[in-house]
């Protein structure tokens, strides 16, 4: 991997890891839906100059309906689900669940596109799923800071289900893009999808707008997640895809929990348990097998 691409790879993981922290700060005052709506709305505005690149606008106009719909699947709905999740579970835990995105993508492709995985990849899906089950069973009695409450928490279970639902949305978006947008300029998809998410969440954002005036800290958090973790991160992601290909680019999800766990511990005082780390390792091993990154040897 070239040094420049490696730097971009690590920066992207650091940015996406920080997104959970910023969403937690913003959602605490704006709520989950308004946080997601502002995130994609600001990102759409920041990415608007991308349409000026040669071929991007024409490519968008040719498939604008499909691109806008893909934005709801790839950004609008999952961002709202994650914003809800980080209000009730530690950001590090949400990021570990986010690492199952390649698993969800493989599962959806298997069901929808009939891309049946081979023996090792099927084993990877099973291992990753087992890791998720262990993580869910072991963390349903914790609060948002990671402290044990000693009792079953239905809000925690709902938050974890929301995070996993977001990964299913990503999997659906990946298969939809492969089937209907494979010949579209990647930057047209990147920019147009944010506009689709922004339009889709516009009315819900107004409906769920907080009655009180959010603090400057919450506004700065949303600006950071829109500018750094969405607009800039999307540009970096598609640059990495162009350099390494989509399969290798997706391995960035392996590094995201490392940064998210670190940020959560440093800035939110979240507890990192051995159970979380162990289950995270099982999930990552299963994901590596499911993506074909590890062979029989």
Tell me the two tokens of residue 53.
Answer: 């690149």
Please report whether residue 210 resides in a domain: yes
Query: pLDDT category, 279, cuts 50, 70, 90?
Result: confident
Domain total of the chain: 1
pLDDT at 38: 96
User: Between 100 and 34, where is the model more confident?
Assistant: 34
Mean pLDDT to the nearest integer, 278-296: 74
pLDDT at 144: 66
pLDDT at 205: 97
Q: How far is CA 222 from the centre of its chain?
A: 16
- The residues near 233 (Cβ < 8 Å, ≥ 6 apart) are 12, 15, 16, 19
pLDDT at 293: 66
Indicate whether 136 pLDDT > 80: no
- Do 193 and 77 contact (CB within 8 A), yes or no? no
Q: 42-51, 65-74, 261-270, 281-290 — which is least confidently predicted?
A: 281-290
pLDDT digits (tens, 9 = 90+) for 41-66: 999 999 999 898 888 999 999 999 99
Report the 10 Å Cβ neighbour count for 237: 21
Q: What is the DSSP letter of 142?
A: B
pLDDT at 296: 54
Please report whether residue 141 resides in a domain: yes
DSSP string, 230-242: IIIHHHHHHHHHH
pLDDT at 111: 85
Indicate whether 168 pLDDT > 80: yes
Query: pLDDT category, 203, cuts 50, 70, 90?
Result: very high
Please report whether residue 296 resides in a domain: no
pLDDT at 34: 97
pLDDT at 278: 86
CA distance 6 to 240: 9
Indicate whether 155 pLDDT > 60: yes
pTM of the model: 0.87
Report the 10 Å Cβ neighbour count for 64: 15
Please report whether residue 295 resides in a domain: no
CA distance 127 to 134: 11
Indicate whether 145 pLDDT > 90: no
Burial degree of 185 (CB within 10 A; 0-12, 13-18, 19+): buried
CA distance 78 to 170: 7
CA distance 199 to 188: 16
- Do 83 and 32 contact (CB within 8 A), yes or no? yes
Q: What proportion of the chain, given as a percentage, has pLDDT over 70?
A: 90
CA distance 170 to 147: 29
- Do 15 and 255 contact (CB within 8 A), yes or no? no
Please report whether residue 89 resides in a domain: yes
Q: 16-25, 31-40, 203-212, 269-278 — which is least confidently predicted?
A: 269-278
Indicate whether 141 pLDDT > 70: no
Tell me the two tokens of residue 14.
Answer: 């650091």
User: Between 292 and 262, where is the model more confident?
Assistant: 262
Please report whether residue 297 resides in a domain: no
CA distance 247 to 126: 20
pLDDT at 92: 85
pLDDT at 152: 54
pLDDT at 46: 92
Q: 198-202, 268-272, 286-290 — which is least confidently predicted?
A: 286-290
Please report whether residue 202 resides in a domain: yes
Kindly report the average pLDDT of the chain as a whole number: 86
Please report whether residue 88 resides in a domain: yes
Q: Residue 139 belongs to what domain range?
A: 3-290
């Amino acid at each position: 991997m070239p040094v420049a691409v490696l730097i971009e790879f690590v920066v992207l993981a650091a940015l996406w890891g920080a997104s959970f922290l910023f969403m937690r700060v913003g959602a605490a005052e704006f709520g989950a839906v308004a946080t997601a709506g502002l995130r994609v709305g600001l990102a759409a505005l920041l990415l608007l100059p991308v349409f000026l690149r040669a071929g991007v606008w024409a490519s968008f106009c040719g498939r604008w309906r499909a691109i806008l719909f893909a934005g709801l699947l790839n950004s609008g709905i999952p961002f709202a689900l994650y914003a809800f999740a980080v209000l009730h579970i530690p950001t590090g835990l949400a990021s570990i669940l986010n690492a199952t995105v390649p698993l969800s993508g493989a599962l959806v492709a298997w069901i929808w596109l009939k891309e049946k995985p081979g023996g090792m990849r099927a084993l990877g899906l099973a291992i990753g799923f087992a890791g998720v089950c262990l993580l869910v069973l072991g963390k349903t009695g914790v609060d948002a800071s990671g402290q044990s409450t000693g009792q079953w928490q239905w809000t925690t279970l709902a938050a974890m289900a929301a995070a996993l639902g977001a990964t299913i949305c990503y999997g659906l978006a990946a298969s939809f893009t492969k089937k209907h947008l494979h010949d579209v300029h990647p930057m047209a998809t990147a920019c147009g999808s944010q506009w689709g998410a922004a339009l889709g969440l516009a009315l819900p954002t107004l409906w769920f707008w907080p009655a009180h005036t959010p603090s400057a800290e919450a506004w700065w958090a949303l600006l950071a997640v829109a500018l750094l973790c969405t607009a800039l991160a999307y540009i970096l992601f598609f640059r990495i895809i162009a350099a390494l290909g989509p399969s290798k680019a997706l391995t960035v999800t392996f590094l995201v929990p490392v940064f998210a766990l670190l940020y959560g511990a440093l800035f939110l005082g979240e507890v990192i348990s051995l159970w979380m780390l162990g289950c995270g390792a099982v999930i990552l091993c299963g994901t590596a097998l499911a993506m074909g990154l590890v062979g029989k040897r």
